[in-house]
Structure 1
Amino acid sequence: MSSSTSKPTFQYRPSEDRGGSNHGWLKTFHTFSFADYYDPAFENFGSLRVINEDRVAPSTGFPTHPHREAEIFSYIISGELAHKDSMGNVETMVRGDIQMTSGGTGIRHSEYNDNKEKEVHFLQIWALPNERGLKPRYYARHFTDEDKTDKWAHIVAPATAEGVIDERDATGPTPIHAALNFFGSLLGSGKSLDHTLLPRLKPSPAGAGKLVYVQLVQTSGYNPGKAPKDGKGGALVKVSLGGQEATLGEGDGVFIRGANTGDKLVVDNVGEKRAEVVLFEMDA
């Protein structure tokens, strides 16, 4: 248990308040300011800079483009995503795959849906590195549905954390050069899952706590409108921590500030469908 008496605060963000648009070949939602979407209230959260929930149509994608000084990872929900980059990495990712590109001093890459029939649905996530001028690196991991069923899979962890393997292909969490942990779960109807917040990567500055963001993935299909809250039109979960709570429909998220190491976060599936939940935990 945390020794702090501070109380966390919740900021609920409904799916329909996210930025984004339907470009035909790309249907996208932006949690933070991105491209033509700008909201000064949602520029970043801790080291998180981008969370885009993307759906790319068959035989289309993002052509080769540059990145630098960013940790960029794609987490595949469904379909196939082909990756190529200037470091020579070439692969096609499927459900449960994650690839991490540590942009460092600069890379170029493309992401394309080579499938001629099915769209690809994935989360594109960027984080700010804790050090500039790093050598570009690439990592790939796979997590099965079984790894996530009614439990948390630890998908991304700081590169310096215990048990993280600094190799392109390995088991365990994917390395990231930021004080960020990323978890995923497939939570069955009526099931409950808790998570105890981890120690900080470095000693805490005065007053600094933990930051948490939880999002319910929009797995029932693209829906730019309000997420159903009756538990029948899509998945539905309740997130609780420190006496605060928020109910999330698909695409909804909650930002939690002022949490502490040892605090217990609880996610309850209060709907009728399996819920695909992602959780980000960061140092403030």
Structure 2
Amino acid sequence: MGKLSFQYRPSEKRGGADHGWLKTFHTFSFADYYDPSFENFGSLRVINEDRVAPRTGFPTHPHREAEIFSYIVSGELSHKDSMGNVETMKRGDVQMTSGGTGIRHSEYNNHPSEQCHFLQIWAMPNQRGLPPKYFGRHFTDDDKKDKLVEIVAPVTQEGVVEERDAKGPTPIHANLNFFASLLSPSASVTHTLRAPVQASASSKLLYIQLVQTSGFNTAAAPKDKSTALIKVAGESGEEAVLGEGDGVFIRGGAAGDKVTLTNQGGKVGELVVFEMDA
């Protein structure tokens, strides 16, 4: 068993900006936001909680040597890239762009009236110079109800299908597993850490965040029984309580360690969980 160390970070301590067409929170240093304490976590480099206004979006821009995926919370987002992929994503959709040697893409909310809310996530690849690739998956609310569903997994993991559209986890060229849950009031799920992807890894990392579904607000989301309120508990008494937008960084994990997530609030909580090698 590892010796888990919890670092709680409230939503209001994230970076962020309101550009009018884009309202965003940054978990890690990004664009004009810089905090040397939050530049990456394992292979995780970016978690932006973005809200894109109707008929606006990100114009065509380049990427390389990054694994970039979008997790759609609400609304719709249209993707177009230099590999010829064109797709409009909605709630439950996950889109992975493996940047490799270089791609160009755009992402627009073409809906005439509805905002798009999604998580934009970047991870650093475990190998440089890979050919660019594109993958898409869909997970329903029922899939995620009161259980942790594996949304993204390394391409080397057994059962992961490296095809554009397939069942199962979305492939990623990084030492990262991504899970999601829709946790009902009073419900609990337990996550058991896996063995390291790389034999040389000294320990495991977890990052857990409660999606801020109540809307964009620069102040702290309320933390009471009227909202989702997630207690994160380790086996040795470590714990943190997450309101919307809050996160907890967990270090020192070992294969077999368990972390239990319990919704102590009165609203369904949408949780995302990242597991990585240290």
State the TM-score, normalized to the length of structure 1: 0.96
Cα distance in 1 between the residues matched to 2:152 and 2:240:
24
Match of 2:254 in 1: 260
Runs of 4+ in structure 1 over 3 Å off: none
Amino acid at match of 2:270: E
Amino acid at match of 2:13: D
CA contact (8 A) 1:14 1:227 kept: no
1:155-166 alignment to 2 at 5 Å?
155-166=151-162
Structure 1 residues 23-58: Cα deviation after superposition (integer angstroms, max 9, x where no partner)? 111010000000000000000000000000000000
Q: Work out which of the residue numbers 230, 237, 241 in structure 2 matches 1:237.
A: 230
**2:124 equivalent to 1:116:** no
Match of 1:217 in 2: 211
1:262-277 alignment to 2 at 5 Å?
262-277=256-271
Task: Name structure 2 gaps, 5 residues minimum.
Answer: none
Match of 1:135 in 2: 131
Shift of 1:21: 1.1
Cα distance in 1 between the residues matched to 2:15 and 2:5:
23
Shift of 1:73: 0.2
Match of 1:249 in 2: 243
- Cα RMSD over matched residues? 0.8
Cα distance in 2 between the residues matched to 1:76 and 1:193:
22
Cα distance in 2 between the residues matched to 1:241 and 1:223:
30
Shift of 1:227: 2.1
Aligned residue pair count:
277
Structure 1 residues 205-236: Cα deviation after superposition (integer angstroms, max 9, x where no partner)? 4xx1100000000012212211212121x211
State the TM-score, normalized to the length of structure 2: 0.98
Amino acid at match of 2:266: E
Shift of 1:198: 1.2
What's the secondary structure of 1:256's corresponding residue?
strand
What's the secondary structure of 1:88's corresponding residue?
coil
Cα distance in 2 between the residues matched to 1:22 and 1:272:
29
Identity %: 71
